[in-house]
Amino acid sequence: MSQCAVIIPAAGRSSRFGGAEKKPFVSLDGRPAWQRTAEIFWSRPDVSKVYLVIAPEDRDDFRARFGPRVAFVENVEVVDGGAERFESVANALARVPEDVQLVAVHDAVRPLVTPALVDSVFQAAKEHGAAMLAVPVADTLKQVDPATNRITGTVPRAGVWQAQTPQVFRRDWLVEAYAHRTALNVPITDDAQLIEAIGHSVVVVPSAPINFKITTKDDLDLAVAILKARSAAKASEPEGPRWGAFDDEAKW
């Protein structure tokens, strides 16, 4: 049985980021953000395939710019996304073979997660069926009236964690959760919430603030600085992907 497939949604509009370039395609110290993220997973022996989900309108441009970057990588497939993030994940999930045990969902613009954190959340998912990275909330949380910007209350921090990715689940649980997602009458903000909605508990694995999501230009600058510092601290490049025969058409 194959152990894990990884879904990387990269089909969002990046409306909060600004600029002409979508966040997954911006350069992070010489490589696009989506590649920085995907290469964390594509060399892992416990990952059978990485599904990179892009917007259909980006396909031609993506193939022209980045096609050679994926053509030689044995276990990467590019999938068309949907109008919303959950539709994009559903499109990729439909491509995951039934013999895959676990499915991880990881943000395309969260490129700084460490191998040790991935190891920890994968192991927790193997043991419990569902696990995710998160960090305890450190700052004071305030409820604010959006009409007046006045504070209406203070939220106790005890037991409150900030969700991150990867979020890793048994494939059959995630398939069931997605089959029922349209029946839910509450806003859904992540995949773990879908798993909770069908009655399964999700184990939280302590993460680190460095595993942040690039949302603004300041986040981008910080990510580049961290990558440069990591490169300077290492004598060699990270382990490369599992190279296969050049098979461009099979990726699309």
Counting Cα atoms < 13 Å in the Cβ hemisphere of 131 gives 18
Predicted confidence (pLDDT) per residue in 131-189, tens digit = 999 999 999 999 999 999 999 999 999 999 999 999 999 999 999 999 999 888 888 99
Pairing of strands 141-145, 203-206: unpaired
Q: Which helix (H) or strand (E) holds 169?
A: strand 161-170
Q: Which helix (H) or strand (E) holds 120?
A: helix 115-128
Spatial contact of 26 and 65, defined as CB atoms under 8 Å apart? no
Q: What is the pTM of this model?
A: 0.89
Each domain of the chain, given as residue ranges in start order, spans 4-251
4-251 — its CATH code? 3.90.550.10
Predicted confidence (pLDDT) per residue in 13-59, tens digit = 755 555 678 899 999 999 999 999 999 999 999 999 999 999 999 99
